[in-house]
Amino acid sequence: MSAPIDLPKWADTILVPAVSVVAAFLVAGLVVVGIGENPLTATRLLLQGSLGTGEGLGFTLFYMTDFIFVGLAVAVAYHAGLFNIGGEGQATLAGLGIALVLNNLTFLPGIILIPLGILGAAAFGAAWAAIPGYLQAKRGSHIVITTIMFNWLASVLIVYLLVNVLRAPQNMNPETPAFPPQSEILFMHEVFAAFGIEIPASQLNLTLFLALAAAYGVWLLIYRSRLGYAIRVVGSSPTAAVYAGISPARIIVVAMVISGALAGGLAVNELMGYQHRLLLEFTAGYGFVGIAVALMGRAHPVGIVLASLLFGILYQGGAELAFEQPAITRDMVVVIGGIIILFAGALEGLFRRFVAHVMPRPALAKA
């Protein structure tokens, strides 16, 4: 066993992640040098591509929206002591929920249809997460295994439905007909244009605000509500939960339901905000990024928003980088992301030790 390391809260929540990100970039830089490119140029291109232009920024924030939802989903389950790996599957099912609601209720006005679509996403995502939750609670089937299995089930289910059931007859692609136009969540550039402000067009849409609201809601739920209290008791000490009369089985299901509903936000952003139809593989592995985001954000909504921004920068900037410098492929960018996950998640303890070591004593004493 090692000695406990006590750091002031600010160091714990900001300094340690910052140090690990810097270290990750240094290592990633070495990798870039290894393939014969200039890491400084690469960094410049990455930042330029993600933050330097209005369009780039729009895309960065669009990805950020995705990551906030899936990060929050992982975090809520995590507070109940559960590792929800099933964000992909839950978001996929949420997409199905959206398609069913929007394409069957085409007669409704947007002001009603949009909330219904969002609810459909939440309900389908929640239901898909509830099953592994129930199996864990009642049968002890490990949630990591079952959620992974449910990712596969979701992906074959959606292929079957899109090819055989939901596809528009004349369409060769496995996708649904377009959603009714009144159900489209407005693009940010459209909103700004309505106020007479011109901003570059991108995929960024109003779902960003829903994501930020969800982050606030999760904070309120986890840290301030009675239910969140019960969730954290179950997550930190199941025996104390039994003593307190909190049923771990019930909380596990409830936490998974909330988690699945949050994962549904990914589908809202991608489908209602951008694609405007249901198509294959719109989740693009973002559900897994949620795990990294939650780890890096220490399962706290503020941390998750910041980590989502970082991963948004990586995704958007990485795409630009791969475009500008062909030697650095998309795969390389994935590697850099992986290094960050490794450093921020797995090696976090190492950096805590480092920070504790170099911090001046008086600062520690004020902890």
Partner 1 sequence: MNSAIQLIAIDKRFGAVHANKDVNLDIARGTIHGIVGENGAGKSTLMSILYGFYEADSGEIRVGGRAVSIRSPADAIHVGIGMVHQHFMLVEPLSVVENVMLGAEGGPLLRKGEAKVKAELARLSRDYGLQIDVDATVGDLSVGLQQRVEILKALYRGADILILDEPTAVLTPAEADALFELLRALKTQGKTVILITHKLREIMAVTDRVSVMRRGEMVATLETTNTSPPELAELMVGRRVLLRVEKTERKPGAPLLEVSDLSVIDSRGVLRVANASFTIHAGEIVGIAGVSGNGQSELLEALAGMRQPVLGSIRFGGQEIALDRHNPHHMRQLGLLHVPEDRLRMGLVSAFPAFESAILGFSDEPRLGHGPILDHDRMVEDLTQKMEQYDVRPPAPRLKTSKFSGGNQQKIVLAREIERRPKVLLVGQPTRGVDIGAIEFIHRRLIALRDAGVGILLVSVELDEIMALSDRILTMCGGQITGERKASETTEQDLGLLMAGVTDEAA
Please give the residue ranges that form the binding site for partner 1 (CB under 8 A). 1-4, 6, 220, 224-227, 229-230, 232-233, 236-237, 239-240, 242-246, 361, 365-367
Are 176 and 167 spatial neighbours (Cβ–Cβ below 8 Å)?
A: yes
Residue 10 Cβ, how far from partner 1 at the closest point, in Å?
14
Nearest-approach distance from CB 263 to partner 1, in angstroms: 23
- Residue closer to partner 1 (CB basis): 8 or 110: 8
Of 240 and 346, which has the nearer Cβ to partner 1? 240
Check: CB of residue 176 under 8 Å from CB of residue 166. yes
CB nearer to partner 1: give 197 or 361: 361
What tokens were used for 351? 């950096």
Cα 262 to Cα 10, 117, 126, distances in angstroms: 28, 14, 8
**Residue 230 CB, nearest approach to partner 1 (Å):** 6
CA angle 216, 221, 222 (to 5 degrees): 100
φ, ψ for residue 279, nearest 5 deg? -140, 175
Specify whether the CB–CB gap between 95 and 282 falls below 8 A: yes
What burial class does residue 115 get, using C-beta atoms within 10 Å of its C-beta: 0-12 exposed, 13-18 middle, 19+ buried?
exposed
Q: Which is nearer to partner 1, 213 or 240 (CB)?
A: 240
Q: What is the number of other CB atoms lying within 10 angstroms of the CB of residue 293?
A: 35
Taking the least distance from each CB to partner 1, the nearer of 169 and 245 is: 245
CA–CA distance, 33 with 24 (Å, rounded to integer): 14
Q: And the tokens for 95?
A: 């997409």
- The CA distance from 48 to 204, in Å, is 18
Chain CA centroid to CA 191, Å: 24
Residues ≥6 apart with Cβ < 8 Å to 245:
none
Residue 83's nearest CA partner among 146, 151, 138, 153 is 146
Of 171 and 237, the one with the shorter C-beta distance to partner 1 is 237
> C-beta of 210: minimal distance to partner 1 in Å?
21
* Pure H helices in 80-109: 87-104
Q: Least distance to partner 1 from the beta carbon of 104, Å?
A: 33
Question: Which CB sits closer to partner 1, 145 or 244?
Answer: 244
Least separation in angstroms between residue 9's CB and partner 1 is: 11
Nearest to 205 by CA among 187, 189, 193, 191: 187
Shorter beta-carbon distance to partner 1: residue 1 or 111? 1
In one letter, which amino acid is 46?
L
Supply the minimum distance, in Å, between the C-beta of residue 211 and partner 1: 22
Least Å distance, CB 81 to partner 1, is 11
